[in-house]
Amino acid sequence: MNIETAGLGTLIIILAMAVVTLATRWGGVFVMSFVPIGYRVRQFIHAMSGSVLVALLAPLAVSGDNGARLALLTTAAIMLTLKKPLPAIAGGILVAALFRHLWPMLA
């Protein structure tokens, strides 16, 4: 079902997001009060929570411009070396901006 991102539709989307997120905040505690969450379920959830971000990023890296690709590369490199998200994100943005200004033909 598609929802319009205007007027009431927007409100429905946000409420749906809020309810789903709340369900994740409460769900773990709620389920545990009946039965301990099993090992395989934990593994699935753990692997899925990283995978969903990768799944979002992959098309962005493949279909984006070279500025976007360089930005992602920079963020990954800084994150691996410094392990701090803020410089990593700032570095990625800066590289995208610089690259698009200096080499607009290649971007």
Partner 1 sequence: MARKEATLHRLDRTLVWDGFKALLPISLFVTIFGIAFGVAAPQAGLDDGTIMLMSTLVFAGASQFAVLELWEPQIPLFTMMVTVFAINARHLLMGATLYPWLEPLPPAKRYGIMLVASDANWAMATQEFTRGRPGLGVLLGGGIALWCFWVLGTWLGLSVGGAIRDPASLGLDMVMGCFLLAMVVGGEKNLRMLLIWGVAAGASLLAFYYLPDNSHVVVGAIAGGLAGVIWGKRDHEH
Within 44-63, the residues that bind partner 1 by CB under 8 A are 44-63
Q: How far is the CB of 34 from partner 1 (least distance, A)?
A: 11
Residue 97 in the binding site for partner 1 (CB under 8 A)? yes
Using CA atoms, how far residue 34 sits from 28, 30, 37, 57, in Å, is 10, 7, 9, 36
Q: How far is the CB of 3 from partner 1 (least distance, A)?
A: 5
Q: How far is the CB of 20 from partner 1 (least distance, A)?
A: 5
Q: Is the Cβ–Cβ distance between 37 and 28 less than 8 Å?
A: yes
Residue 106 in the binding site for partner 1 (CB under 8 A)? no
Distance CA 43, CA 96 (A): 36
